[in-house]
Amino acid sequence: MIERPVEMREGQRTIALDDATLRFTAAADGRGEGLAGLDLACADSARRGLVSICGIRFRLVAA
């Protein structure tokens, strides 16, 4: 659909956009298919980690 290849990375299907990666996992939370999590590059090391807001898992990782 978006004319980018599906690649396996660390056992998960991914599609690389120009500036981000879509990662597909099995729907395992009982809510069905949907957007479940976001990885964000974070310059502030004190904020890094995993937090849940608005039903989304935000993973703050090193920039």
Partner 1 sequence: MSGIRMRQICLVARRLAPVVDQLRGTLGLEVCHRDPGVGKYGLENALFPVGDGFLEVVAPVRDGTTAGRYLDRRGGDGGYMVITQVDDLEARRRRVEALGIRIANEIGYPDYRELQLHPRDVGGAMLSFSLQAGARSPGGPWHPAAFDGTARANPAGGAR
Could you give the CA distance from residue 53 to residue 60 in angstroms, rounded to a whole number? 12
CB nearer partner 1, residue 8 or residue 54:
54
Residue 4 lies near partner 1 (rule: CB under 8 A)? yes
* Best CA proximity match to 36, nearest among 24, 21, 48: 24
Judged by CB under 8 A, how many residues of this single chain contact partner 1? 35
Rounded CA separation 61/57 (Å): 12
Among 7, 12, 20, 50, binds partner 1 (CB under 8 A): 20
What type of residue is 5? P
Q: Which residues bind partner 1 (CB under 8 A)?
A: 1-4, 17-22, 24, 30-36, 38-44, 47, 51, 53-56, 58, 60-61, 63
